[in-house]
Amino acid sequence: EVQLVESGGGLVKPGGSLRLSCAGAGFTFSRNSMNWVRQAPGKGLEWVSSISSSSIYIYYADSVKGRFTISRDNAKNSLYLQMNSLRAEDTAVYYCARVPTGWLGDAFDIWGQGTMVTVSS
Amino acid sequence: EIVLTQSPGTLSLSPGESATLSCRASQSVSSNYLAWYQQKPGQAPSLLIYGASTRATGIPDRFSGSGSGTDFTLTISRLEPEDFAVYYCQQYGGPPYTFGQGTKLEIK
């Protein structure tokens, strides 16, 4: 079964850091570009970051640029999001989502179940 | 950045009726790289339509997408109880890969 499983969420104080992970299974992870999308409580979806299959192309939303870093380890079938200088407005469920191809210009066909990040003192 | 505006915000219909959801872009979406997602409470979004009009794997033909340029539509015919959810459009023509604010389809 093709699936994505996120982990690493939790409660963190403003200014703190957190590292999210996303494990892929049931497909050849190294062939797919990947993304992080977040959803604040009761709000809509917000794209956060994308990384191509070989990590050559990386993009960030302006709201996280300079604070978040996306990376991947194809040998471990894993995607990561290092989040630094966290703010209250970063509080959200964070989803990882797959692109069915190795390049970034495609829809997100598989989503994980999400991991909750709460930034509060 | 392409801003996507969805309307209406909430749509109240009965099972068996048809739903028409709109997504308007602030500028032309390149190559019609427009997707629609369905999200049910407590669940992750799931892909319905990509390329503006192509159904994703396993999506029933009650769901259809149309449009080009800046105006796109998701039509759901013969609404089933499981179709009542929130629907989002997204453009993936280039970063940032923006989403619309969502349309909530609720049971009347």
Predicted pLDDT of residue A105: 82
> What is the Cα–Cα distance from B20 to B69, expressed in whole angstroms?
18
**Is residue A102 predicted with pLDDT exceeding 80?**
no
Question: Is A46 close to B99, i.e. CB distance below 8 A?
Answer: yes
Residue of chain A with shortest Cα separation from B89: A45
Question: Is A107 close to B92, i.e. CB distance below 8 A?
Answer: yes
CA distances from A92 to A45, A55, A66, A118, B99 (A): 10, 25, 19, 7, 16
> What is the Cα–Cα distance from A54 to A75, expressed in whole angstroms?
11
- Going by pLDDT thresholds of 50, 70 and 90, the confidence category of residue A21 is very high
